[in-house]
Amino acid sequence: MLAVKATLVRDLTLLLRRRGEVLNPLVFFALVITLFPIAISPDPELLAVIAPGLLWVAALLAALLSLDSLFRSDYDDGSLEQLLLAPQPLAALSLAKVAVHWLLTGLPLALMAPLLGIMLALPAGSYAVLALSLALGTASLSLIGAIGAALTVGLARGGVLLSLLVLPLYIPVLIFGAGAVQAAIFGEGVLAHLAILGALLAASLMLAPWAIAASLRISING
């Protein structure tokens, strides 16, 4: 437990000292959202229809982009090997790393999304659901994505490969995340969507750490 806490604190400190890395996904999120009205139409009525999907896809891509750096610097400076050699279970330590990744990308993305929702004329009453569904969903995204990041960390150019591996696995989260926002707009019950997002998170919390640990072992030894 102490080692998990130490990993948490270390990763948080490291990331907070490199603020650029934390800010970049957020700027990317805002930029992508800016592109859509320019490419499609500035008409608020049209934008309101597609806003839930746009916000979710853009947030998903922003979370995906930040994944590559999840293990990269630790792999380069060798501290990942130290984590592997540590007597504590690697699954728990990697869960701590993923938790930090979510705290500094998923959660800010979720908090920022309502702001961009205003710009896309997202109908009122769905803002809280948007933030909540993103907060729940990005946690699963970080966990699933970390498997891909761990598998590709040893490869020189793993970036595009990482998205190829991870994006198909993101689809259920996207369906229920965007579905929750849409249900909120139409005034339907959102609890079912949020419950399924929570279930997906519970399942990935349970299974993903083992896959991440196994993948890290493959990447280090290979």
Partner 1 sequence: MWAFIHKLGSPKWFYGISAKLQPWFWAAAGLLIITGSLWGLAFAPADYQQGNSFRIIYVHVPAAFLAQSIFIAMAVSGLVFMVWKIKVADMAAAVMAPLGAAMTFVALFSGAVWGVPTWGTWWMWDARLTSMLILLFLYLGVIALRGAFTSRDSASRAASVLAMVGVINIPIIKYSVDWWYTLHQPASFTLTSRPAMPTEMWLPLVIMVLGFYSFFIALTLMRTRSEILRREANKHWVQELVTGQAVKAPAEEAR
Query: Which DSSP category does 140 fall into?
Result: H
Burial class (CB in 10 A: 0-12, 13-18, 19+), 159: middle
Nearer to partner 1, 23 or 218 (CB): 218
Query: Measured between alpha carbons, how far is 45 from 42 in angstroms, rounded to an integer?
Result: 9
The yes or no reply on residue 214 touching partner 1 (CB under 8 A) is yes
The yes or no reply on residue 165 touching partner 1 (CB under 8 A) is yes
Nearer to partner 1, 35 or 207 (CB): 207
Q: What angle do CA 168, 132, 213 make, to 5 degrees?
A: 45
User: Quick one: tokens of 8?
Assistant: 């948490």
The yes or no reply on residue 151 touching partner 1 (CB under 8 A) is yes
CB of 209 vs partner 1, minimal distance in Å: 12
Neighbours of 11 (CB within 10 A): 20
The yes or no reply on residue 219 touching partner 1 (CB under 8 A) is yes
Q: Name which of residues 27 to 46 contact partner 1 (CB under 8 A).
A: none
The yes or no reply on residue 175 touching partner 1 (CB under 8 A) is yes
User: Closest Cα partner for 209 from 90, 83, 91, 88?
Assistant: 91
* List of residues 6+ apart from 108 with CB closer than 8 A: 22, 25, 26
The yes or no reply on residue 205 touching partner 1 (CB under 8 A) is no
> Which span sits near partner 1 by CB under 8 A: 52-60, 113-121, 130-138, 203-211?
203-211
Catalog residues that contact partner 1 under the rule CB under 8 A: 147, 151-152, 154-155, 158, 161, 164-165, 167-169, 171-172, 175-176, 179, 200, 203, 207, 211, 214-215, 218-219, 221-222
